[in-house]
Amino acid sequence: MTILVTGGAGFIGSNFVLDWLADPAAEPVVNLDALTYAGNRANLASLEGDARHHFVHGDIGDRARVDQLLATHRPRAIVHFAAESHVDRSIHGPGAFMKTNVEGTFTLLEAARAFWGTLEGDEKAAFRFHHVSTDEVYGSLKPSDPPFAETNPYEPNSPYSASKAASDHLVRAWHHTYGLPVLTTNCSNNYGPYHFPEKLIPLMIVNALAGKPLPVYGDGQQIRDWLYVKDHCSGIRAVLAGGRLGETYNIGGWNEKANLDIVQTVCALLDELRPDPAGPYSRLITYVTDRPGHDRRYAIDARKIERELGWRPAETFETGIRKTVQWYLDHPDWVADVQSGAYKDWVGQHYGAR
């Protein structure tokens, strides 16, 4: 038995693969990743020589390649992380988001449907297509709104969230029409090791350590619900193991925080762990032009996954953020590596004009 993971060289996918294979009894992983700017084989370096991890450099939109992988490895599940994931990049260039998140998911679903159609008996009954999605599909909450439940209407506001919403609809339809055994999880903002420093928390850590400005969009009062990435991975494992077919499960950290509070927390931890003789890191906070169409607040109601599957996050924000800041301090080579090359072009293009 094997599982096929897509996007397993990215932030969440690589954490998922590492956590999965930390169990000596775990099924082997075939890891299909196109190695875009966000994919990084260094995340998986500790699996070098581990025969249970089979890395494949390829695109989910390549139907022949996906068909061949499914026929060869006969996975009992597909866990689909591969996506373009950064909202700001989707505003600069939405095309890649439509290509991978919508067309790529369509191709993967069609390949999965064809493969599943060849299975019989227990193998057919055990097969799962697990789609990893986001809370951004539900749109933006007002301060007094209850957190997003699975029953909230879809109201995506960015090209990224629209592309993820489209992919969720495809997954739902492939279950409803063809009976494909699907599961969907919609998750809040992750943070933790191997997070690419285009996203808020790692960007603030690496910029602070380099003495660079800490760019806060607008008034910094936008709210996100932060989830430690390893808790997200355990939530996915719980849904994969026991989720009801065709259902969606929201996964969140019960940690609503304003962006400015997040940045100040990162600064305070760095002041403690790596004090800067020039003064507190918060001196670097710089307000910049807001993100167009910026969603004001996300928050997840994670009671369904707790009620049905007994899942709750293990980390509080305080424990998770301390581990995260320490991880970045302990991995300067990883940080230097991901900041080389095209990363500089992105930072120049995106922040240069703000």
Q: Which residues are catalytic?
A: 135-136, 160
Q: Rule CB under 6 A: is residue 87 a binding residue for ligand DAU?
A: yes
Select the binding partner of residue 200 from ligand DAU, ligand NAD, none (C-beta < 5 to 8 A, by kind). Answer: ligand DAU
Q: Are 122 and 105 contacting, i.e. CB atoms less than 8 angstroms apart?
A: no
Using CB under 6 A, which of 29, 216, 238, 266 touches ligand DAU?
Answer: 216
Q: Are 99 and 60 contacting, i.e. CB atoms less than 8 angstroms apart?
A: no
Rounded distance between C-alpha atoms, residue 204 and residue 213, angstroms: 9
Instruction: List, in sequence order, the alpha helices (H) in the chain.
Output: 11-21, 63-73, 87-92, 95-97, 105-118, 121-126, 159-178, 200-209, 229-242, 259-273, 303-309, 317-330, 332-338, 342-351
Rounded distance between C-alpha atoms, residue 343 and residue 257, angstroms: 27
Select the binding partner of residue 224 from ligand NAD, ligand DAU, none (C-beta < 5 to 8 A, by kind). Answer: ligand DAU
Query: Which CB sits closer to ligand DAU, 85 or 250?
Result: 85
With H, G, I as helix, E, B as strand and everything else as coil, classify residue 299: coil
Select the binding partner of residue 266 from ligand DAU, ligand NAD, none (C-beta < 5 to 8 A, by kind). Answer: none
Binding mask 18-37 for ligand NAD (x = CB under 6 A): --------------xxxxx-
Q: How, if at all, do strands 214-217 and 128-134 pair?
A: unpaired
Stretch of 69-77, 79-87, 297-305, 320-328 lying at the interface with ligand NAD (CB under 6 A):
79-87
Q: Are 325 and 273 contacting, i.e. CB atoms less than 8 angstroms apart?
A: yes
- In one-letter notation, the amino acid at residue 38 is A
Q: Are 185 and 251 contacting, i.e. CB atoms less than 8 angstroms apart?
A: yes
Using CB under 6 A, which of 31, 90, 100, 158 touches ligand NAD?
Answer: 100
Q: Are 100 and 49 contacting, i.e. CB atoms less than 8 angstroms apart?
A: no
Select the binding partner of residue 112 from ligand NAD, ligand DAU, none (C-beta < 5 to 8 A, by kind). Answer: none
CB of 123 to ligand NAD, least distance (A): 25
Stretch of 53-61, 146-154, 241-249, 334-342 lying at the interface with ligand NAD (CB under 6 A):
53-61
CB of 345 to ligand DAU, least distance (A): 16
Using CB under 6 A, which of 5, 55, 85, 137 touches ligand NAD?
Answer: 85
Rounded distance between C-alpha atoms, residue 130 and residue 246, angstroms: 10
H/E run at residue 190: strand 190-191
- In one-letter notation, the amino acid at residue 70 is L
Using CB under 6 A, which of 196, 298, 317, 328 touches ligand DAU?
Answer: 298
With H, G, I as helix, E, B as strand and everything else as coil, classify residue 187: strand
Select the binding partner of residue 82 from ligand DAU, ligand NAD, none (C-beta < 5 to 8 A, by kind). Answer: ligand NAD
Q: Which residues pair with 4 in a beta bridge?
A: 30, 78
Q: Which of positions 156-195 make contact with ligand NAD (CB under 6 A)?
A: 164, 187, 189-190
Using CB under 6 A, which of 44, 47, 79, 104 touches ligand NAD?
Answer: 104
Stretch of 1-9, 17-25, 112-120, 122-130 lying at the interface with ligand NAD (CB under 6 A):
1-9
Residues that bind ligand NAD (CB under 6 A): 6-7, 9-13, 32-36, 38-39, 59-61, 81-83, 85, 100, 104, 132, 134, 164, 187, 189-190, 196
